[in-house]
Amino acid sequence: MGLVVQKYGGSSVADAEGIKRVAKRIVEAKKNGNQVVVIVSAMGDTTDELIDLAEQVSPMPAGREFDMLLTAGERISMALLAMAIKNLGHEAQSFTGSQAGVITDSVHNKARIIDVTPGRIRESIDQGNIAIVAGFQGVSADKKDITTLGRGGSDTTAVALAAALDAEVCEIYTDVDGVFTADPRVVKKARKIDWISFEDMLELAASGSKVLLHRCVEYARRYNIPIHVRSSFSGLQGTWVSSKPIEQGDKKVEQAIISGVAHDTSEAKITVVGVPDKPGEAAAIFRAIADAEINIDMVVQNVSAASTGLTDISFTLPKTEGRKAIDALERNRGGIGFDSLRYDDQIGKISLVGAGMKTNPGVTADFFTALSDAGVNIELISTSEIRISVVTRKDDVAEAVRAVHTAFGLDSDTDEAVVYGGTGR
């Protein structure tokens, strides 16, 4: 008997009909002779609605209470899903993240899983139940407070439980047929990828392809858990994310030169204006940001004007951390020394990802040519071995993604990508 771990995202359980549809699918897996553990997200846009609600009562809610609120979303869907399964004549039990043994550090709103002790889940499935686990949440090791894993965190819960339960595969069910060469909501001609390496998927996820969360892919790579991303609305094969290419019939799927184009409009840019151009200044700025537990993405420092000896330093960070970062810098203004701060949340990032970049020197030039042909102005650039990213105006992002997708020959000449549900929020 195999053990199957399945995760269903919010758009797959957006309403009562969705929950009943998913329940049938889960029961099928059980009837095929498997032990089944299901991780479920909050219904539809529930998490966003809870965040809006919190902001109405407090502009900067305390992390502990914020997490307590957000985890309620997953508790609703886990209980409803267990009820729907029981209604189909099968035994199911729901568990919170804490009950399922998801132990985290105590960084509220973006806690990291440090251990998984799924004794109760094992016991439940050994008794013949289908176990339903609330995604995106855990309990902190030290204070025993409820934590959340960051937006999209149910993906990480799923892989972490798959690893702890020694499952062969972790199935991620969502509202598109797999991982595509670009977001199908933006590029209708995006192509479904049959297989992608952990490395390329990590870069896509880190660059904003929210179909899988970055931390989930990191976790899967560390424990070598293959992920199968597929639609909960169709019966099609999806995308395999794993260390080795899959076989299709008698042929191996090849590693693509370019895996895809990712975009991200969830970041903002802060410019620290008028920083003295002397050693230790960048260190002081980023120490203040790090002490506030804020992760930054790209950094650039301008050449200083010789006459003033002052320079500007810009960096990007999640918009959700914008206010906290500005507060942290203002608090340390005396120690750092700068003239002013500029905050810009009208930016977007476009990234091209592919292992083939290492050996194809023309890729960077072609990327910039495609952007310039589309009339897109570049504000920041960063690269890794297998990725190039640029920051542009937010309004240019969709056009830029399509232009780059076409320029690299990624457009599908047969099918249009299907988006089955979700609001794209």
Residues 220-279 close enough to bind ligand ASP by CB under 6 A: none
Nearer to ligand ASP, 118 or 153 (CB): 153
10 binds ligand ASP (CB under 6 A): yes
* Three-state SS letters, the chain: CCEEEEEECHHHHCCHHHHHHHHHHHHHHHHCCCEEEEEECCCCCHHHHHHHHHHHHCCCCCHHHHHHHHHHHHHHHHHHHHHHHHHCCCCEEEECCCCCCEEECCCCCCCCEEEECCHHHHHHHHCCCEEEEECCEEEECCCCCEEECCCCCHHHHHHHHHHHCCCCCEEEEECECCCECCCCCCCCCCCECCEEEHHHHHHHHHCCCCCCCHHHHHHHHHHCCCEEEEECCCCCCCEEEECCCCEECCEECCCCCCCEEEEECCEEEEEEEEEECCCCHHHHHHHHHHHCCCCCCCEEECCCECCCCEEEEEEEEEHHHHHHHHHHHHHCHHHHCCCEEEEECCEEEEEEECHHHHHCCCHHHHHHHHHHHCCCCCCEEEEECCEEEEEEEHHHHHHHHHHHHHHCCCCCCCCCCCECCCCCC
The distance of closest approach from Cβ of residue 184 to ligand ADP in the complex, given in angstroms and rounded to an integer, is 6
Closer CB to ligand ASP, 152 or 318, in the complex: 152
Name the one range near ligand ASP by CB under 6 A: 23-31, 102-110, 118-126, 145-153.
Answer: 145-153
Report the nearest approach of ligand ASP to the CB of residue 151 (Å). Answer: 4
Find the binding residues for Mg ion in span 111-170 (CB under 5 A): 152
Q: Which CB atom, from 152 or from 238, has the smaller least distance to ligand ASP?
A: 152
What single-letter amino acid sits at 324?
K
Q: Which of residues 162-221 bind Mg ion (CB under 5 A)?
A: none
Residues 15 and 21: their CA atoms lie apart, in Å, by 10
Subset of 37-66 contacting ligand ASP (CB under 6 A): 41-42, 47
Question: Among residues 97, 152, 184, 354, which is the contact residue for ligand ASP, using CB under 6 A?
Answer: 152
Chain length of the chain: 425
Nearer to ligand ASP, 308 or 423 (CB): 423
Of residues 264 and 321, the one with the C-beta less far from ligand ADP: 264
The CB-based long-range contact list for 57-64 (8 Å cut-off, 24+ gap) reads 59/323, 60/323, 60/324, 62/108, 63/108, 63/109, 64/108, 64/145, 64/146
Of the listed pieces 150-158, 275-283, 363-371, 393-401, which binds ligand ASP according to CB under 6 A?
150-158
Question: Toward ligand ASP, which CB reaches closer, 11 or 314?
Answer: 11
Provide the minimum distance between the beta carbon of 34 and ligand ASP in the complex, in angstroms, as a whole number.
23
The entry of ligand ASP, ligand ADP, Mg ion, none that residue 260 binds, CB within 5 to 8 Å by partner kind: ligand ADP
Question: In the complex with ligand ASP, which residue's Cβ is closer, 44 or 226?
Answer: 44
Nearer of residues 18 and 118 to ligand ADP, judged by Cβ: 18
Question: By CB under 6 A, what part of segment 72-101 binds ligand ASP?
Answer: 73
**221 or 405, CB closer to ligand ADP?**
405
Out of ligand ASP, Mg ion, ligand ADP, none, what residue 180 binds, judged by CB under 5 to 8 A for its kind, is: ligand ADP
Task: Please tell me the count of residues contacting Mg ion according to CB under 5 A.
Answer: 2
Integer-rounded Cα Rg, in Å, for the chain is 23
- Closest of 18, 33, 36 to residue 169, by C-alpha: 36
Residue 320 token pair: 């959700």
Strands 251-252 and 299-301: unpaired
- Stretch of 25-33, 114-122, 153-161, 281-289 contacting ligand ASP, by CB under 6 A: 153-161
**Which of 8, 95, 136, 240: binder of ligand ASP (CB under 6 A)?**
136
Q: What is the contact surface with ligand ADP in residues (CB under 6 A)?
A: 9-12, 41, 152, 174-176, 179-180, 182-185, 209-211, 260, 419, 422, 424
Least distance from C-beta 156 to ligand ADP, angstroms? 11
Report the nearest approach of ligand ASP to the CB of residue 150 (Å): 8
Residue 135 contacts which entry, ligand ASP, ligand ADP, Mg ion, none (Cβ below 5-8 A, type-dependent): ligand ASP
Tell me which residues touch ligand ASP (CB under 6 A): 9-10, 41-42, 47, 73, 135-136, 151-155
List of residues contacting Mg ion (CB under 5 A)? 9, 152
